[in-house]
Amino acid sequence: MNIIDSLEGVTRLFLDTAPVVYFVEQHPHYFAVVTQVFERLGDSSLIAVASPVTLAECLVRPYSLGQTELQQYFIELITNNDTIEYVPITNQSIALKAAQIRAKYNMKLPDAFQIAVAQAARCEAFLTNDTILKRVTELRVLVLDDFNT
């Protein structure tokens, strides 16, 4: 199955960090598959969702290398884009949900926050390249490596 077929029926897709980085940096192994997703965002009813965790993780390398243009590009792409809804972590219910998810799946807190935001934003699917997140049953987890054969 390809990535577009896997998005059938999905109207809200959470973007974990890796797919965004692979798209922006045109990763040689993943660019083709993430480009299909980003193109679908531009011409359909699919809405992407991202969180402050996505933004922060995307900015680590550009900050460490002093790449101010890349920093600004990530900020604009994630927080000021018609096809990506930026969902801030502003209420206690997301923190409580993240704690529950972390306890249930024994995962890192940033990953638990990502899942909690995705659920709060009513996402049907979660795009990542972290196979550990496949354990999550509360929403459909799509791992890029599964589509990149």
Tens of pLDDT, residues 86-139:
999 998 999 999 999 999 999 999 999 999 999 999 999 999 999 999 999 999
Give the C-alpha separation, 115 to 137, whole Å. Answer: 10
The percentage of the chain sitting over the pLDDT mark of 70, rounded to a whole number, equals 99
| Residue-level pLDDT at 39 | 92
Q: Is the separation of the CB atoms in 13 and 123 below 8 Å?
A: yes
Res. 42 pLDDT band, cuts 50 70 90: confident
Question: Which of 65-70's residues contact partners 24+ apart within 8 Å by CB, and which partners?
Answer: 70/24
| Residue-level pLDDT at 148 | 65
